[in-house]
Amino acid sequence: MSAGGSVEQLLRQVSPGQYDTYETYESLLRALAGSELWMLLWHGRAGSPDAQYGNMEVGGYGYAPCVTSHQELAASGWTRAHEVVGGRDIAAALFPERWGIWLNPHSPGGGVGVPWLDLRRIALGLERLPAGPLRITEPALDIPQFYALLTRNAHHTPAVRSLRHAWVQPALGVPYLAIGLELYDGGQRSVESAHQMMQRSITAVPEGLPVSSVAMADGHDPVAMWLRRQARPFFDRDTQVGAVQVQGQVPRQSAAPGLGYGYPPTY
């Protein structure tokens, strides 16, 4: 099915946690971004101050139930109020609170859940963020020239507090080396100086190795979440640690927490 398929066409090809191909699920996300959803209200009416979406919990994660058309609304038997919202708008409203959406929960098989991290991708741009669930591990790349240059440039960039790294395998696309940037503040000048530091350092990256940076202050980025909990800084200005030890030529396999980090375990 192409990315131009309708939400309901694509829903017939996926089931919760059992996607035959991730490409179909990615097409569903693209369709949701350009579609309207009928959000089920547990309290109040559309536009009223006391309006409250319904909620359900699956696998320890929260979801707001919704349906995909007037026909599905009628089929659901829902007798309370509802609110029609654009897919990108509801994604932007829900993901900061770590809520996903559950599509057509009344349908045979129970419908399909879209986790909040995928709503984040819809809200911020599917092309801008890696497709999850992500497989995140410690990197084991023999690139001492890059780490040496990056560490040296970090020493000369006062805005940078620490650096961490991870090897990221998206559900779609090529794996890449992620550099976690912890800054003393999030001001424009600090962010720009860190960006320039990365640009100066990237010249030492071997050809063909993708490198991306992630803001450690981003509480919603799955790579930053993994780095904060799993990775020690290889540069830390406060403790004057400026050396990185890496060996080997290929990324190592990490323990289970690296698998699909930030997504429901059964996703």
Domains, the chain: 7-124 (3.40.1350), 135-258 (3.30.300)
pLDDT at 4 over 90: no
When pLDDT is cut at 50, 70 and 90, the band that residue 5 belongs to is: low
* pLDDT (tens digit per residue) in 231-261: 999 999 988 644 454 443 333 434 344 556 7
Residue 143 has pLDDT above 60, yes or no: yes
Q: Report how far Cα 249 is from the mean position of its chain's Cα atoms.
A: 27
Please state, for a pLDDT cut of 70, what percent of the chain lies above it.
87
What is the biggest distance separating any 2 CA atoms in the chain, rounded to whole angstroms?
Answer: 64
Mean pLDDT score, 107-124: 93
What is the per-residue pLDDT for 15?
63
pLDDT at 69: 94
- Model pLDDT for residues 92-111, shown as the tens digit of each residue: 999 999 999 999 999 988 89
Q: What is the pLDDT of residue 206?
A: 93
Average model confidence (pLDDT) across the chain: 87
Q: Which pLDDT score is estimated for 19? A: 52
- 97-135 as b/e, with b when 16 or more CB fall inside 10 Å? ebbbbbbbbebeeebbbbbbbbbbbbbeebeebbbbbbb
Q: CB burial class (10 A; 0-12, 13-18, 19+) of residue 57? A: exposed
Report the pLDDT value the prediction gives residue 22, as an integer from 0 to 100: 77
**DSSP, res 110:** -
Structure tokens at 101: 């959406």
| Cα 196-207-134 angle, rounded to 5 deg | 80
CA distance 126 to 148: 33
pLDDT tens digits along 144-154: 999 999 999 99
105 within 8 A of 65, measured Cβ to Cβ: yes
Segment 64-76 shows an average pLDDT of 95
Contact 7, 103 (CB under 8 A): yes
Q: Are strands 112-114 and 135-137 parallel, antiparallel or unpaired?
A: unpaired
Q: What is the pLDDT of residue 9?
A: 87
